[in-house]
Chain A
Amino acid sequence: MKGLSLQGINKTFGKVHAVRDVSKDIHSGEFFTLLGPSGCGKTTLLRMIAGLELQDSGRIILDGEDITGLPAIKRHINTVFQSYALFPHLNIFDNVAFGLRSRKVPGAEVNQRVKDTLDMLELGEMTKRFPHQLSGGQCQRVALARALVNEPKVLLLDEPMSALDAKLRAQVQIELRRLQQKLGQTFILVTHDQDEALIVSDRIAVMKDGQIVQYGTPAEVYDFPKNRFVAEFLGSANLFEGTYKDGRFHTAIGIFELEKPPPWEKGLIAIRPEWIRISDTEPAKNGLRATVTEIIYRGTNLDISLNPGPVRLRTSTYSRIKIGDELWLDLAPKEIAVLNG
């Protein structure tokens, strides 16, 4: 099989079970993201793939070859480190050439490949500069070039954008996505930033306490979170607890219809704030009469809190809503996610 296969990976540090029995196939050419809060084991998992940490049990298979026991220097995998870890005494060219020179690639080929990679990342002008003379964004691209020039089978990125400011980060995320699509290489990104994960990924694995709690495309994970953790970690969600009986879901604030009967009798449903529509008249199904208690102006939209609930909804800034207004909310059945826990 082409791609990376993790099979039953476990890792403990003392009493902390950092990674619990993780198994996942990552397809070749896929942009795969490990998303989770700090301490969820995502970086440990990445370091085990890189060969910088040894798993307690489990196997790692790369393109059909078992690399479980190979050290980092024998794995055809390269890493972009969170701190970039550029060699401060080497200039940009020598930094990028490092991996090729370690493998004793002939000089002319080194020059060509380094030049091509630097040009691709628009660093061609910087070859003679040293890392301390570059900005954060440039350092990040050098770190990317230093890994990519080796043409790794898998590129690992350990929170590569955490040191960039918000505006640059948004730009770099899109560049990274485009670069990955152009190269068609397997990228594995570790991040705690849900926006970043949604923007760049083909597939996201949401991690919690060392386990993958949900896995799927960004739309699958965002639109239909499987549990409370995912619903709250990715974006924000209105969660309602209640019981399902007589084909309807009974909560403290009202009775709603669901698209499909849930697999439980007592449980949780979630609805994203931006999916709730405001209506002047009572909607045919799942209407909720509520009073506006708080309005937060966010430039691109308004975040509104309402009672009962509290229900949070997101609407355009055009709406002339004031605190104290009574509104009809439309919670369409097809937009309600049924959670498993």
Chain B
Amino acid sequence: MDKLIIWYGELISGQKLLKRGLFFLVPGMLWLILFLVLPGLILVLVSFAGRGDYGNLVWEFSFDNYTRLIGYGLFGWTLDYVYILLRSVWVAVVTTGLSVLLSYPLCFYIARKPLRTRYLWLTVVIIPFWTNMVIRAYAWFLILAPELPFAKLAAFLKLIPPGAPLYPSALAVYLGMISMFLPFVALPLFSSVERLDWTLVEAAQDLYASNFRIFMHAILPQTLPGLSVGIILTIVPAMGMFVVPDLLGGAKYMLVGNLIQQQFGASRDYAFGAAISMALMILTLFSLYMYKRKNKGIDLI
């Protein structure tokens, strides 16, 4: 007779509980193994293969794809790919940073609204979530079109030739990326801001704190949980983003996502594409590691 235990009020044997747990767990595990772990491992293998004349894979082990990535090519040494990788990191960091800067005032503004209108405001923030990414990128085309005031103003300031649109450009990429990722930062941050214990702010005021000190000691530590979620939700996908930079940046502002897409698409160089993907994955893990290390403990200052 198996030993009976009480599991959250239910009388059940340990063995039966284990079986039930496995039953619920197995489908998800299978899914992850089949569609995440296996393809990931294949990608690792492919990244060491080569490209045949017709874009087919040639299974001979070499580090050629990786040496090519850091710049040793047919035509001597260039850092083009490294630049693209670094630029992707830079774009992701700037996008995240600006999204955070924009989210704080936004969240406090919404949190201060009465309950009735608060959810209306939140809905306005969430609406981009419901709209297709590509459609939103094209919407920026309209906004940045030459006939509209933004492009006209830029032309007047001699930033672009008259009659030209504001895209493709770095500016357009940032506009697209930030509008894309703002809700990812704002929503988790809002959940923290909404629950903020204002007594701590009052205590800081009572103890003569400057506005900067109030933020660092009374607001930032309390909003850190939401902020962390927002930052991770933004920086990871932003590094690999390719739709927005493709449409709004084009060849003028290529990011690693576009490069990978190009290898698997037009260039038909799966092996090199796999190597770039590996590099991106390593970069992502590295930045998460750095982020985690920087925020170790609670010492933020």
A: residues with CB less than 8 A from B are: 50-52, 71-73, 77-79, 81, 83, 85-90, 98-99, 102-103, 146-147, 150
Q: How many residues of B contact A (CB 8 A)?
A: 19
B56 CB within 8 Å of chain A: no
Q: Are A73 and B298 in contact (CB under 8 A)?
A: no
17 extra interchain contacts, Cβ-Cβ under 8 A, other than A81-B202, A102-B209? A51-B205, A73-B206, A73-B208, A77-B206, A79-B206, A81-B199, A85-B199, A85-B200, A86-B203, A87-B200, A87-B203, A89-B299, A89-B300, A98-B207, A102-B204, A102-B207, A102-B210
8 contacts between A and B (CB under 8 A): A51-B205, A52-B202, A73-B208, A81-B203, A83-B199, A87-B204, A89-B298, A102-B209
**Interchain nearest-CB distance for B218 vs A (Å):** 7
B62 to chain A, nearest CB (A): 50
In the complex, A145→B208 CA distance in Å?
A: 15
Q: Are A102 and B199 in contact (CB under 8 A)?
A: no
> A77 vs B206: C-alpha distance in the bound complex, in angstroms?
8
A85 nearest CB neighbor, chain B only: B203
User: Does B217 sit at the interface, judged by CB under 8 A?
Assistant: yes
User: Are B206 and A52 neighbours in the complex by a CB distance under 8 Å?
Assistant: yes
Q: How would you classify the secondary structure of chain B's contact residues: helix, strand, loop or mixed?
A: helix
Determine the chain A residues whose CB is within 8 A of the CB of B210 once the complex forms: 102
Compute how far the CA of A89 lies from the CA of B218 in the bound complex, rounded to whole angstroms: 9
Q: Please name all residues of chain A whose beta carbon is closer than 8 Å to the beta carbon of B208 when the two chains form the complex.
A: 73, 99, 102-103, 150
Q: Which residues of chain B have C-beta atoms less than 8 A from A81's C-beta?
A: 199, 202-203
Cα A103 to Cα B208 in complex, Å, equals 7
User: B200, B208, B298 — which one has the most chain A CB atoms within 10 A of its CB?
Assistant: B208
Interface centre among A50, A83, A102 (most CB of B within 10 A): A102
Nearest B residue (CB) for A103: B208
B217–A98 CB distance below 8 A: yes
List of A residues within 8 angstroms of B197 by Cβ: 83, 85
A-contacting residues, B185-239, CB 8 Å: 197, 199-200, 202-210, 213, 217-218, 221
4 tightest Cβ-Cβ pairs between the two chains A and B: A99-B207, A85-B203, A102-B208, A89-B298
Q: Tell me which of B200, B202, B213, B298 contacts A102 (CB under 8 A).
A: B213
Within 8 Å CB of B206, what residues of A? 50-52, 72-73, 77-79, 147
Chain B residues whose C-beta falls within 8 Å of the C-beta of A83 in the assembled complex: 197, 199
Q: Are A87 and B218 in contact (CB under 8 A)?
A: yes
Q: Is the CB of B202 within 8 A of A72?
A: yes
- Closest chain B CB from A190 CB (angstroms): 15
**In whole angstroms, what is the CA distance A79 to B204 when docked?**
10
Cβ of B217 and Cβ of A146 under 8 Å apart?
no
Q: What residues of chain A lie closer than 8 Å to B300, measured between beta carbons?
A: 89
Question: For the complex, what is the distance from the CA of A89 to the CA of B199, rounded to whole Å?
Answer: 15
Chain A residues whose CB sits within 8 angstroms of the CB of B204 once the complex forms: 87, 98, 102
Task: Tell me the complex Cα distance, A52–B204, Å.
Answer: 11
Q: Quick check: B207 and A150 within 8 Å, CB to CB? A: yes
Instruction: Kindly identify which residue among B202, B209, B213, B298 contacts A85, using a CB–CB cutoff of 8 Å.
Output: B202
Cα(A147)–Cα(B203), bound, Å? 10
Q: Tell me whether A89 and B202 are in contact (CB under 8 A).
A: no
Question: Which A residues touch B202, using CB under 8 A?
Answer: 52, 72, 79, 81, 85
Q: B209, B221, B298, B299: which contacts A98 (Cβ < 8 A)?
A: B209
Write the B106-124 contact mask toward A (1 if CB under 8 angstroms, else 0). 0000000000000000000
Closest to A130 in B: B298
- Bound CA–CA A99/B204 (angstroms): 8
| Given the contacts A81-B199, A85-B199, A85-B200, A52 and B218 also touching, CB distance less than 8 Å | no
Chain B min CB distance to A147 (Å): 8
Q: With a CB–CB cut-off of 8 A, which chain B residues contact A72? A: 202, 205-206
| A271: min CB distance to chain B, Å | 43
- Cβ distance B268 to chain A, nearest Cβ, rounded Å: 53
Measured CB to CB, the closest approach of chain B to A163, in angstroms, equals 13
- Known contacts A88-B221, A89-B298; A71 and B199 CB within 8 A of each other: no
Closest Cβ–Cβ distance, residue A185 to chain B (whole Å)? 16
List of B residues within 8 angstroms of A99 by Cβ: 207-208
Instruction: Across the interface, name the chain B residue whose C-beta is closest to A79.
Output: B206
Which residues of B sit under 8 angstroms from A71, Cβ to Cβ? 205
A78 and B207 in contact, given A83-B199, A85-B200, A90-B217 (Cβ under 8 angstroms):
yes
CB-defined contacts of A51 to chain B, threshold 8 Å: 205-206
Question: Contact between A52 and B205 (Cβ–Cβ < 8 Å)?
Answer: yes
Q: Return the chain A residue nearest B202 by Cβ.
A: A52
B71 to chain A, nearest CB (A): 44
Interface residues of B in 251-301 (CB under 8 A from A): 298-300
Which residues on B sit within 8 Å (CB–CB) of A73? Answer: 205-206, 208-209
Contacting residues, chain A, for B221 (C-beta < 8 A): 87-89
Residue of B207, B208, B210, B213 with most partner-chain A CB within 10 A: B207
CB contacts (< 8 Å) of B298 on chain A: these are 88-89
Distance between Cα atoms of A146 and B199 in the complex (Å): 15
